[in-house]
């Protein structure tokens, strides 16, 4: 007869052995997946036969496309956190992964949209890639200038070395690569709008605001120095001037200045004389920049008006300009019923949501509101 204590001992040992065996098998499966499983070459059909790739199976779709010179926007370096690298995969992707689900809407899931850094190429795939992404490539350059624009905003100028020129539209952005450093064991990519005009095509300028704890901005503010080599990909994005003659309002705050600083200089050079009013919001005077330059442009260009505004001027600011939230200023200046007006916005999600509401109240329809939202 088995004693109760012995029975417990047998159960404990059996449970322990089962756990050990399960862990061992799981480990072996992971190792086998990594080192032994050979998926062989897999075919990727892009845009229904427009382009065919043959890649080595086992890597993520994002990495496979990058190895073939196709750069899909990605800010987190393939960690499945930014959700920028969404692609439509019509065949071969397998079931949706738990790591993808929180990053996709129900409509996207229904439309076969997937997170390309999470989907592994294990067999032939059929995917759709927006045409404009084929013109994106990797660039290398040297940091020529870093200058403080405010207490927490810097301007970066990068002279291109490989290739030596970059063709882009005012309003587009790059993905800057922050390499691994002591605050980050892996390199990451972050999106920044280009602030130089397109004819200045041997360099890239961008305006970066420090994000406390941010991996890329910490690197730019604390580690990057003039003369350093730097890598990025681009140009990305659909935020650009329409090809109409409609009057425009521009609304921005903080580093949302970037695309507009590019656009206004492009319009001047290219002789685009569309009536434009630029509303730029900040809290206090210490948060403003490029005011003198934009005021000079407004004096010079009869079709351009610049309206900086402070929401809470400091005691010593001696501010005589517009005061209030930028949305309040827009509300005061833009008359209702302007169905010929186009609006361009760049800044925080909160500012853009509030501005869209003001513009809608003025009768500006959604199809005439273009924005580049930070989040």
Q: Say whether residue 326 binds other proteins (CB under 8 A).
A: yes
Number of neighbours of residue 356 by Cβ within 10 angstroms: 19
Which of these segments, 113-121, 186-194, 296-304, 332-340, binds other proteins (CB under 8 A)? 186-194
Q: Say whether residue 63 binds other proteins (CB under 8 A).
A: no
Q: Say whether residue 331 binds other proteins (CB under 8 A).
A: no
Q: Say whether residue 321 binds other proteins (CB under 8 A).
A: no
- By beta-carbon proximity to other proteins, the closer residue of 55 and 351 is 351
- By beta-carbon proximity to other proteins, the closer residue of 29 and 312 is 312
- By beta-carbon proximity to other proteins, the closer residue of 201 and 348 is 348
Binders in 334-363 for other proteins, by CB under 8 A = 347-351, 354
DSSP string, 345-358: EEE-HHHHHHHHHH
Kindly tell me which residue out of 59, 184, 201, 331 binds other proteins, with binding defined by CB under 8 A: 184
Could you give the C-alpha distances from 188 to 76, 115, 225, 356, in angstroms and in order?
5, 17, 18, 31
Binders in 277-316 for other proteins, by CB under 8 A = 281-283, 287, 311-312
Kindly tell me which residue out of 198, 235, 237, 254 binds other proteins, with binding defined by CB under 8 A: 254
User: What's the rounded Cα separation, in Å, for the pair 21 and 17?
Assistant: 6
- By beta-carbon proximity to other proteins, the closer residue of 182 and 300 is 182
The SS3 assignment for 299 reads: helix
Tell me, by CB under 8 A, how many residues bind other proteins.
43
What's the closest the beta carbon of residue 62 comes to other proteins, in angstroms? 17
Could you give the C-alpha distances from 327 to 127, 216, 258, 308, in angstroms and in order?
41, 30, 19, 12
72-91 footprint of other proteins as x/- string (CB under 8 A) = ---x-----xxx--------
What's the closest the beta carbon of residue 122 comes to other proteins, in angstroms? 22
- By beta-carbon proximity to other proteins, the closer residue of 196 and 258 is 258
Cβ-proximal residues to 2 (8 Å cutoff; 6+ apart), any chain: 10
Q: Say whether residue 104 binds other proteins (CB under 8 A).
A: no
Phi-psi category of residue 318: left, alpha or beta, with phi > 0 → left and psi -120 to 50 → alpha? left
Q: Say whether residue 96 binds other proteins (CB under 8 A).
A: no
Q: Tell me the residue ranges of DSSP E strands in 110-246.
A: 113-115, 125-128, 137-148, 153-162, 173-178, 188-193, 203-209, 229-236
Q: Pick the closest to residue 272 from 197, 328, 214, 336 (CA basis).
A: 197
Whose structure tokens read 């360099």?
203
Contact between 240 and 171 under an 8 Å Cβ cutoff? The reply is: yes
Whose structure tokens read 């005691």?
315
What's the closest the beta carbon of residue 30 comes to other proteins, in angstroms? 10
Could you give the C-alpha distances from 83 to 57, 117, 154, 193, 234, in angstroms and in order?
22, 9, 27, 18, 18
Q: Say whether residue 259 binds other proteins (CB under 8 A).
A: no
Q: Say whether residue 19 binds other proteins (CB under 8 A).
A: no
User: What's the rounded Cα separation, in Å, for the pair 114 and 200?
Assistant: 36
Span between the terminal Cα atoms of the chain, in Å: 69
- By beta-carbon proximity to other proteins, the closer residue of 53 and 282 is 282
What's the closest the beta carbon of residue 311 comes to other proteins, in angstroms? 4
User: What's the rounded Cα separation, in Å, for the pair 298 and 122?
Assistant: 57
- By beta-carbon proximity to other proteins, the closer residue of 186 and 199 is 186
Half-sphere exposure of 42 (CA within 13 A, CB side): 23
202-231 footprint of other proteins as x/- string (CB under 8 A) = -------x-xxxxx--x-------------
159-178 footprint of other proteins as x/- string (CB under 8 A) = --------------------
| Interacting residues with other proteins (CB under 8 A) | 75, 81-83, 98-99, 101-103, 182-186, 190-191, 209, 211-215, 218, 253-255, 281-283, 287, 311-312, 325-327, 347-351, 354, 374-375
């Amino acid at each position: 007869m088995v004693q109760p204590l012995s029975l417990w001992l047998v159960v404990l040992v059996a449970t322990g052995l089962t756990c050990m065996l399960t862990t061992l098998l799981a480990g072996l499966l992971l190792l086998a997946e990594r080192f032994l499983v050979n998926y062989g070459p897999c075919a990727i059909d892009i845009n229904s036969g427009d382009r065919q790739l043959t890649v080595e199976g086992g890597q993520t779709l994002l990495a496979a496309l990058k190895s073939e010179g196709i750069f899909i926007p990605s800010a987190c370096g393939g960690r499945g956190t930014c959700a920028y690298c969404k692609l439509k995969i019509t065949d071969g992707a397998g079931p949706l992964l738990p790591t993808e689900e929180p990053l996709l809407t129900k409509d996207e899931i229904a439309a076969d949209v997937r997170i390309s850094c999470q989907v592994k190429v294990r067999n032939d795939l059929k995917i759709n890639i927006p045409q404009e992404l084929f013109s994106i490539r990797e660039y290398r350059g040297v940091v020529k200038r870093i200058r403080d624009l405010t207490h927490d905003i810097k301007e970066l100028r990068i002279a291109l070395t490989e290739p030596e020129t970059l063709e882009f539209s005012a309003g587009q952005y790059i993905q800057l690569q922050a390499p691994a450093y002591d605050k980050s064991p892996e390199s990451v990519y972050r999106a920044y709008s280009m602030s130089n005009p397109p004819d200045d095509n041997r360099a890239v300028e961008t305006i970066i605001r420090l994000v406390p704890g941010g991996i890329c901005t910490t690197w730019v503010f604390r580690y990057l120095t003039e003369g350093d080599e730097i890598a990025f990909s681009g140009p990305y994005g659909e935020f650009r001037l329409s090809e109409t003659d409609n009057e425009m309002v521009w609304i921005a705050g903080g580093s949302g200045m970037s695309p507009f600083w590019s656009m206004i200089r492009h319009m001047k050079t290219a002789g685009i004389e569309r009536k434009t009013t630029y509303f730029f919001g900040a809290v206090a005077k210490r948060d403003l920049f490029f005011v003198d330059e934009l005021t000079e442009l407004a004096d010079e260009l009869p079709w351009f008006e610049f309206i900086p505004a402070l929401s809470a001027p400091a005691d010593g600011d001696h501010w005589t300009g517009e005061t209030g939230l930028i949305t309040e200023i827009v509300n005061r200046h833009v008359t209702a019923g302007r169905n010929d007006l186009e609006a361009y916005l760049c800044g925080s999600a909160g500012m853009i949501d509030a501005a869209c509401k003001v513009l809608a109240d003025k009768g500006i329809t959604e199809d005439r509101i273009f924005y580049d939202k930070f989040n």
